[in-house]
Chains A and B, each alone.
Chain A
């Protein structure tokens, strides 16, 4: 009889003791958690894309609830989510301007010349390691699609050798920006239609030889802009989106169509 009772008693007591210790420990070691954190977390999209700069939606909810991040810090949720979180936090949210990613290269297979043929694994980082990739222009998009792989929203695709963003699907999380070894992708205002689809800082002649769509830094756009919104630095045009009024005068003058009007 003892052979049954002893183990039952011993293990039962061990279980009770451990249970009691854990029970007390949970009271002694309890960490106070702000109930707002859970409420804010409920409002966030939950894709954990990291577009806000925090480790994920949980981390952002923590930061917002403790006041370290703004209520409109989530670029994916936009103004809808910002309003909801603002209501929880008791702060009126400024509507954050909607943004979209944009690839600053238009050197597709027809216009950009090749330095060599690349037969390796389709990976931008690997190809970039081989003398900057197959394109004659060392700034151009390699088209291996690291940005496509990084995108959680199916919003970027390689078309004719160059990555193109689908503006309607893009949530401006910035995952593709981090994935691009050429640093070709930037966030631009969703409303903006005038964008420079080139990143080449080569000398004018080299740019022109390498790619028929390249910006040569001729300054025709800069001279013709009535709002002082386009400037050339390092032989490359750059649009100041805060000044641009979308008049499109620069597009008409551009000899290579490096500045484009895209819907």
Chain B
């Protein structure tokens, strides 16, 4: 039950985009079409889950046991960057079709602050291994949900008569703000 609440909280209440404002760069950059947004979302789910597991292990068995927890930022960046690179190579070799679907998004995620954000949250809240994993999946699903919803709205906006000063990014940012307010409604859920 505790894990279920963690999952739900990560997806809706603490949505990485709409309530923590992490990962805004890919959120605005890769959200012009639902198809690419979904691809990005799936890639993020994949990477965040792996990163949560890997950073938890390194944090627990290397940083804590040697008494240098304060180096977590540098260590996590190192882990995430090499993990994504490794996964990219692995997928390229083992499954070319999956690489076609996710390959272009993986390098984008290497330096995505949402991935670093979820690992730091896991550590700060003192989550156990399983809970870290669930929180990672939840945060990534929340990211995917937000980006796909936003892409759907932007597809509609593209063929609407928007006043000239608001065309392009201004209307996208206003929309994102409105969606963020809508997600505020979930904060009373838990």
Whole-angstrom CA separation of A31 from B93 in the bound complex: 6
Told that A14-B79, A25-B89 touch, could you supply 20 new A-B pairs with CB distance under 8 A? A6-B66, A7-B68, A7-B71, A10-B71, A11-B71, A11-B78, A14-B75, A18-B79, A19-B82, A21-B82, A22-B82, A22-B85, A26-B89, A29-B92, A29-B94, A30-B93, A31-B92, A123-B159, A125-B159, A126-B159
Interface positions, chain A 1-57, Cβ under 8 Å from B, are 6-7, 10-11, 14-15, 18-19, 21-22, 25-26, 28-31
Query: 1/0 per position for A132-158, CB-CB distance to B under 8 A?
Result: 000000000000000000000000000
A21-B82, A121-B161 as given contacts; A10 in contact with B92, CB under 8 Å: no
Q: Report whether over half of chain B's contact residues are helix, strand or loop; otherwise say mixed.
A: helix
How far in angstroms is the closest Cβ of chain A from B56? 15
Residues of chain B within 8 A (CB-CB) of A30 are 93
List the A residue with the shortest CB-CB distance to B68.
A7
**B125 located at the interface, meaning its Cβ lies under 8 Å from any Cβ of chain A in the complex:** no
Whole-angstrom CA separation of A6 from B161 in the bound complex: 61
Question: Sorted from nearest, which 4 A-B pairs have the closest CB atoms?
Answer: A29-B93, A18-B82, A29-B89, A7-B68
Number of A positions contacting B (CB below 8 A): 20
**B1 located at the interface, meaning its Cβ lies under 8 Å from any Cβ of chain A in the complex:** no
Residue from A19, A28, A121 within 8 A of B159 (CB atoms): A121
List the A residue with the shortest CB-CB distance to B99.
A31
A6-B67, A121-B160 as given contacts; A11 in contact with B74, CB under 8 Å: yes
Contact A10 B86 (CB under 8 A): no
Number of B positions contacting A (CB below 8 A): 22
Most buried by B among A15, A18, A26: A18
| 5 examples of A-B residue contacts, CB within 8 angstroms | A6-B67, A7-B68, A10-B68, A25-B89, A121-B159
Whole-angstrom CA separation of A123 from B62 in the bound complex: 60
Whole-angstrom CA separation of A121 from B160 in the bound complex: 7
Query: 1/0 per position for B106-148, CB-CB distance to A under 8 A?
Result: 0000000000000000000000000000000000000000000
List the B residue with the shortest CB-CB distance to A9.
B66
Contact B62 A10 (CB under 8 A): yes
List residues of A whose CB falls within 8 A of some B CB.
6-7, 10-11, 14-15, 18-19, 21-22, 25-26, 28-31, 121, 123, 125-126
Contact B66 A11 (CB under 8 A): no
How far in angstroms is the closest Cβ of chain B from A17? 9
Residue from A10, A19, A121, A126 within 8 A of B66 (CB atoms): A10
Residues of chain B within 8 A (CB-CB) of A11 are 71, 74-75, 78
Whole-angstrom CA separation of A6 from B68 in the bound complex: 8
How far in angstroms is the closest Cβ of chain A from B153? 17
Whole-angstrom CA separation of A178 from B123 in the bound complex: 51
Whole-angstrom CA separation of A10 from B65 in the bound complex: 11
A11-B74, A11-B75, A126-B159 as given contacts; A29 in contact with B90, CB under 8 Å: yes
Whole-angstrom CA separation of A235 from B140 in the bound complex: 58
Query: 1/0 per position for B142-181, CB-CB distance to A under 8 A?
Result: 0000000000000000011100000000000000000000
Whole-angstrom CA separation of A79 from B58 in the bound complex: 58
Query: 1/0 per position for B66-84, CB-CB distance to A under 8 A?
Result: 1110010011001100100
Contact B62 A25 (CB under 8 A): no
Residues of chain A within 8 A (CB-CB) of B58 are 14
Whole-angstrom CA separation of A30 from B68 in the bound complex: 36
How far in angstroms is the closest Cβ of chain B from A214? 30
How far in angstroms is the closest Cβ of chain B from A57? 15
Whole-angstrom CA separation of A216 from B40 in the bound complex: 52
How far in angstroms is the closest Cβ of chain A from B6? 28
How far in angstroms is the closest Cβ of chain A from B90? 6
